[in-house]
Amino acid sequence: MTEVVVTVSVPPDLPADLLETMTGGMYWLDEGVTSASLAPGRLTVSYCGRLPEERIRELVTAEVGRLVGSAADQPAPWFDGSSLGTARSPGSDPLPLLTDRGWAVEEAPGTWLLSGPLARLHEAADRLICDRLLSHGAEPVSLPSLLSPGNLRRSGYFESNAAAVNYVFHLREGRDTLAGFGRANAGRQDDALALESVPSTAAQPDAVLSPAACLPYLRSLRGRILDRLSMVTGRARVFRYESGATAGLRRSREFTVREAIVAGNSEQVQERRLLLLSVARSLVSDVGLACRIVPAADPFFATDLASLRRYQLAFGLKHEIRADLPFDGSSLAIGSVNLHRDHFGLTWQAEAAGEPAWSCCMGFGLERFIFAVCAQFGAEPSDWPAVLR
């Protein structure tokens, strides 16, 4: 098959969350998409598959049009974060140096082993965020990484982002099944599984790897009447399949999230959401990261994207903490504060003050957080912010 390269014009002033959705979403047009990259004013997609060039160009153009159209005529957001920290001089991408030193080793596409000073930086970032949340009254909670598919179904995750979910399967019980699978895979030298040895004996997925740290705790509120505000914090391994958009520590398949989850009545949750925004601002300020806290949306693959973005922006449902990456002039969302309103209260029949409970959450992706630190301060531990040393 011959490689086809499609280039489409893109407005230069699109919001960062839409630009990320645009590049990541291209890989879901067809499995033959091999790369998608943005440059000022244009999107370039490489394709090597069964579709004719005209068809893949049509798909790319239509998807860009859908996303660009969703950015038009948006309401003015109620909150706009000013720049935090001091802009830093362009350097180089820190990941090659981190991998050369063995501090970051990719085990499989999108999953990383961290060691040495980078692992200590990872732990220090988590302690800093956790201690700050505990000081504001959060209670510790242990969050699982395996979830029931029913949790995602009830939460509405499948409608918006089923493609990102990692589904877990296991072999059905039986000596012959296990022996056949073992023989087929024992002598392999690659990283693939010989699933052809169990063509009809693999059990259907009975679990999924958690794509969002807050989901299991929110389900635990099922049927409860909350007589006071609930605020917890936990650390979880989170998994999202990003196809060809997977990119080092910037966009991993498996990553670590330090999460704060709040539930209560509408007034309590809205007040606590403002507190979480303040906590996020103080955290990045104390570290000295050059960031902005900006309104964003989680459009994923929603059909009525424009309406969804308008709704999320109008009510200020999502704010991203975006750190500058000086080496390429881009920014990276290292965390977010999300207001769910009464979505999960209705989903799980949780009540507060006689009405469906409201909830919100704040999460920091620790791998992204420390990557931003290395991108802004360099890969030498002695140059890292004192609060993280």
Question: Tell me, what's the pLDDT at 316?
Answer: 67
Residue 300 in this model has a pLDDT that exceeds 60: no
Query: CA-to-CA distance for 322 and 331, rounded, in angstroms?
Result: 6
297-310: buried (b, 16+ CB within 10 Å) or exposed (e) per residue?
Answer: bbbbebeebbebbb
**Following DSSP, what letter does each residue of 225-264 receive, concatenated?**
EESS-EEEEEEEEEE---GGG-BTTTB-SEEEEEEEEEEE
Residue entry with tokens 């509120």: 221
Tokens 């820190």 correspond to what residue?
A: 94
| Host H or E run for residue 220 | helix 215-220
pTM beyond 0.85? yes
Residue 222: pLDDT band with limits 50, 70, 90: very high
pLDDT of residue 253 exceeding 90: yes
Whether residue 204 has pLDDT greater than 70: no
pLDDT at site 303: 47
For residue 124, how far is the Cα from the chain centroid? 21
At 159, is the pLDDT very low, low, confident or very high (cuts 50, 70, 90)? confident
Angle at 351 between CA 348 and CA 353, to 5 degrees: 165
Asked whether the predicted pLDDT for residue 79 surpasses 70, the reply is no
- In three-state form (DSSP H/G/I as H, E/B as E, the rest C), the secondary structure along 278-328 is HHHHHHHHHHCCCEEEEECCCCCCCCCHHHHHHHHHHCCCEEEEEEEECCC
Over residues 65-94, mean pLDDT: 71
The DSSP element (H or E) to which 364 belongs, if any, is: strand 358-365
Q: For the chain, list the domains and their CATH numbers.
A: 4-70 (3.30.70.100), 83-163+207-388 (3.30.930.10)
Instruction: Tell the residue number behind the tokens 């704060």, with chain if given.
Output: 260
pLDDT digits (tens, 9 = 90+) for 108-148: 999 999 999 999 999 999 999 999 999 999 999 999 999 99
Please report the pLDDT score of residue 209 as a whole number.
95
Q: Read off the pLDDT of each residue in 170-182 and give the average, rounded to a whole number.
A: 80
Per-residue pLDDT, averaged over 254-277, amounts to 97
**What's the whole-number average pLDDT of the chain?**
88
pLDDT of residue 68 exceeding 60: yes
pLDDT at 80: 52
DSSP state of 84: E
The confidence band for 309, taking pLDDT boundaries of 50, 70 and 90, is low
Instruction: Give pLDDT, residue 302.
Output: 45
Task: State how beta strands 230-239 and 139-140 pair.
Answer: parallel
pLDDT digits (tens, 9 = 90+) for 370-382: 999 999 999 999 9
The mean pLDDT of 367-371, rounded to a whole number, is 98
